Amino acid sequence: MSNMKLKINTALISVFNKDGLCEIVKKLNEFGVKIYSTGGTYDFIKNSEINVQTIESLTSYPSIFGGRVKTLHPKIFGGILFRRSNMKDVEEQMQYNIPAIDMVIVDLYPFEETLKQNANENDLIEKIDIGGISLIRAAAKNFQDVLVISSRKQYGCIEKILTEQQGETTLAERKYFAAQAFNISSHYDTEIFKYFNRQQNIDVFKQSIEQATQLRYGENPHQKASFYGNPDEVFTKLHGKEISYNNLLDIDSAINLISEFDEPTFAILKHNNACGCASHNDITEAWKLALQADPVSAFGGVIITNRTVDKTCAEEINKIFFEVIIAPDFADDALNILQSKKNRIILRQKVFTFPQKQFRTILNGVVEQDRDSCTGGIEKLDFMTDKKPDEEQICDLIFANKLVKHSKSNAIVLAKNRMLIASGAGQTSRVDALKQAIEKAKSFSLSLTDAVMASDAFFPFVDCVQIAHEAGINAIIQPGGSVRDQDSVDYCNKNNMAMISTGIRHFRH
């Protein structure tokens, strides 16, 4: 049944964008298809020297209200929607002299594109398609008898089908194009709703992303995965193998992290956590310092910087194995060095703004939240202790706080001279996170004397402050808010330590 073919005898064509249309109408004309059309599309087809009839000749009704109503007529929708296999429908079709329409080629007014141009609301409202989307839905609903083409991206495919099958289509093909049509119409309506909901705040979850990339697999080889979105808006891939699911997670974490820094900075990430990070006026020196924190974990990691990578820097980076490197640009000779490994992924990051909403699936639904865009600069700091941190310590504390914000909870970051010394991340206990960081610093012979500590959440007890002091740390930054904050403050005052609070927690799960 799915291979039974129907011949196209009559087509209705009304499109906003005429690109690629000429080849289709010539093909339809070749097979003797009668074409009805509207306005500018009618003129385009007529100028292509193809026989075409106006919609008005069918409906005996003009286009009205500045073109707002052209195709909304029973003879149009009846010709699309009547069921050829239903005798009552056929009798009514004949009674009211409604011609059968076997094919509909319609695209939609460019609402989404107009929205991106920051058009005024009147212009935007006029780009909400009414007739077009109704025609698409009607033709898609009656896919048993009617073929719908809802995007110029489908022209190549349908031209091939018409050529190979002499102007006929199968049920399976019509159903495929119907599914494509409902995809287009639902996406269109979603974007319109999201525009109106900017002010109305109707509490529903609606997302529609048309572009999809099939990935080799998910987090593990037995899991299927896709990426929905347009990565070309974020970066240009210059070299390397196909980007994997896990690569994308690390790339996302890396770009989020580096966006916190204005000064020249390098970061190395592994499993979404920074295992190295440093800021320095010399970008090559920033790389060397970032690598010192944990050269073992850096193996196979994702590297990111907010400055152009030059030849000297590339020579240093090329000494280790890594999966991905991201930078705003690469000098030509640096790129030649980094491309020496054929699988190494090299990405040139573009200017990019993250969406302000984040969501993830849980249980049988979705949770959505605002993006954590707060870090807390010097103007928001609350100096809790008698001893105030000096200017250098404040720089280190803010540096550490940026890192802990992007580390899995429970998280502790130890830093000195704008360099990550060590971190403990993803621990069930904040004490364990701190001990892990201290042990890691010791394992790479990094001194914690005069280092600073950042915590993603408050200290419920004084234990972490005491452990940090005993390890050589003399300044702490934390959100504050514990009922026992004063215990930690008292310990700091007694031991000549500085502590500041941001008032902002940074849990990350």
- Report the alpha-carbon distance of residue 248 to residue 235 in Å, rounded: 12
Q: Active site includes 141?
A: yes
Residue type, position 27, single letter? K
**Angle CA(429)–CA(432)–CA(435) in degrees, nearest 5?**
155
Burial of 493 (0-12, 13-18, 19+ CB in 10 A): middle
How large is the greatest C-alpha to C-alpha distance in the chain, in angstroms?
Answer: 98
3-state DSSP percent of the chain in helix, strand and coil, to 5: 40, 20, 40
Q: Is the dihedral of CA 380, 507, 453, 441 positive or negative?
A: negative
- Phi, psi (rounded to 5 degrees) for 50: -115, 135
Using alpha carbons, list the distances in angstroms from residue 102 to 6, 46, 95, 232: 9, 21, 19, 38
Residues whose CB is less than 8 angstroms from the CB of residue 120 and which lie 6 or more positions away in sequence, other chains included: none
- Spell out the residues 6+ positions from residue 118 whose beta carbon is closer than 8 angstroms to its own: none
Beta-carbon contacts of residue 391 (< 8 Å; ≥ 6 apart):
none
239, 271, 311, 341: the active-site residue: 271
Q: How far apart, in whole angstroms, are the C-alpha atoms of residue 11 and residue 25? A: 10
Is residue 402 annotated as a catalytic residue, yes or no?
no
Report the C-alpha gap between 101 and 80 in whole angstroms.
5
Tokens 């996302």 -> residue: 252
Which of 26, 141, 241, 311 is labelled catalytic?
141
Task: Please state, in angstroms and as integers, the Cα–Cα distance from residue 460 to each residue in 59, 291, 397, 493, 508, following that order.
Answer: 76, 33, 20, 18, 18
Is the distance from CB of 5 to CB of 168 less than 8 angstroms?
yes
**Radius of gyration from C-alpha coordinates of the chain:** 31
**Calpha distance 286→418 (Å, rounded):** 9
What amino acid positions are annotated as catalytic residues?
141, 271
